[in-house]
Amino acid sequence: MIADKSRVTADIQGTSIYAVRLTRLFEVIAVVIDNHFPLVETHYGPGRMIRVIQRLQMEGTKRAAMVLDFFEDERHIKRRIAQIQQADSSQTRAKSYAQAADHRSKSEDVISDHDFKDITDILGELVLIERQIAMFSRFMESRAAPEVKALSMEPGSKDRVFHKPAAILKHLPLAMQGILDTKAGDSAKTATELDEITGLLVHTPLSLRISWLTDTYITFESFFVSRSAAKVMLLDDTDSLSGWAEPIVDASDAETSKSKPATGLLSSFGQRGWRKPGMSAARGQADIAQTSSCVGDMFFVAKTALEHSIATQQPAAVEAISQCVIGVMNSALLATVESRALGKWNAVSNAKGSQLSAASSELSWRLPGVGSAANPADAQAEEAPIGPVAAHQREILVSVNNLDLAGQYLQKTADELKTRVTGEWARIPQRDHVTRAQKALDTFGAFLAKFTHAKQRSLEQFGVQVIKPWVRAILQQSYRDIKY
């Protein structure tokens, strides 16, 4: 019956056909086990179903290994891995020769957009395959463990009921038997070892393929993260944010004596109308876009990759992808945003500021956009091409806000993923797997300190370059007419 159902599922077509085939195969085995449980227990006694489970385990893993062989060939996994390795080496050479523009262009053309889409599709199918295999393993263990426990009540019953491991291996093709013997090495018992708790065969053709699946997944996911992070930083919308048309005017000029108290800069800088991923850039406080798209997009990529690694239920995958995400965010996001936030502040004097709008001359130290027209249509009509000084000020302030927002996202993402590991991995018998995954996610706490430190440095520099000179000038102007 398993063979007949496997032939039927071979006709399935679609983007993730091999994941669907494995799912159908495992569902057939699960139905057979659940339907025959009461029958076997009634006629042969408690615990005797383990013999059927052992036989179905080997039949299911044999056919699943065949599906994975077709998956490897049809999806050209080896060729895709070679492409990724070539792209990585080309990118490394391009970084070594950063001055050669033609070399950088060659590194970008190693993998086309069409190839990247195929790699993304294969990555999604890899995650589904590993998740289905993990769920199948948990199901088999949950059904086999009570049977072994029931047999342990009868001394000597295990030797009579259990299949002999060597007899189970005879149901495999000779090629698969050779693979098991090769993996076992010099220890012949390793290839025919039964688990003491579940009574299932430890080393099967499918269990040996899990390590290959995990390594392949890590290669594809790491490439996806690095390539997507590069696109995120390339498409950052800092240069197109609205509400920054007018530069902040220097308050140290004598013409500011008639100005109002300088509350605009501090209050506006503190109004963190944080923009979540997908929210329009112009929906910030007072129509000022205070964060750019790179933070939300980068964390979307990072969270997607980490959720994939958790779905595989392999601690090695969670550890590798966590380190990959931290490395990419450190080099792409943190380094870029921090360098922008620590830039030297440029301001225009009131001599130049007198050419600005009347509102700007009245409140010369306000952030651009504060006190502007309440109607969004009027605000868009007033928007003018931004000058170099205003663009530089926007880059610094938006980058400081980005650092703060990234810290919030990082803490929230780490907490959500830890909760997800605790829930989805609860049925894994190897408790050290959960511990390893939790420890890998704990590394984001140490990485959060880097964002906090960068934000603190940026705020200190902003205070020295902008806030202190403004406050000093305002105090001097306020007490100028007082005679002691």
- Verdict on whether the full-model pTM lies above 0.85: no
pLDDT tens profile 221-272: 999 999 999 999 999 988 877 767 666 666 554 344 344 433 333 334 444 3
Average pLDDT, the chain: 78
Cα 205 from Cα 127, distance rounded (Å): 19
Is pLDDT of 329 > 90? yes
Amino acid 175: pLDDT = 67
**Contacts for 441 with CB less than 8 Å, ≥ 6 apart:** 306, 318, 322, 414, 417, 418, 421
Q: Which residue has the higher pLDDT, 281 or 12?
A: 12
CA 339, distance to chain mean position in Å, is 24
In the structure, what pLDDT confidence band is assigned to residue 385 with cuts at 50, 70 and 90? low
Q: What are phi and psi of 93, to 5 degrees?
A: -65, -35
Read off the tokens for 169. 């291996």
pLDDT tens profile 362-371: 333 333 433 3
**Among 57, 49, 59, 44, CA closest to 148:** 49
Q: Which residue has the higher pLDDT, 41 or 15?
A: 41
Is pLDDT of 438 > 90? yes
CA 232, distance to chain mean position in Å, is 13
pLDDT tens profile 94-129: 777 654 444 444 445 578 889 999 999 999 999 999
| Choice among 19-33, 157-171, 185-199, 367-381 with the minimum mean pLDDT | 367-381
Amino acid identity of residue 196, one-letter, is E
Q: Are 120 and 302 in contact (CB under 8 A)?
A: no
Amino acid identity of residue 281, one-letter, is A
Partners of 249 in the β-ladder: 348
Amino acid 109: pLDDT = 57
Amino acid 347: pLDDT = 65
**Among 466, 349, 458, 438, CA closest to 398:** 458
Is pLDDT of 213 > 70? yes
Amino acid 320: pLDDT = 97
Is pLDDT of 325 > 90? yes
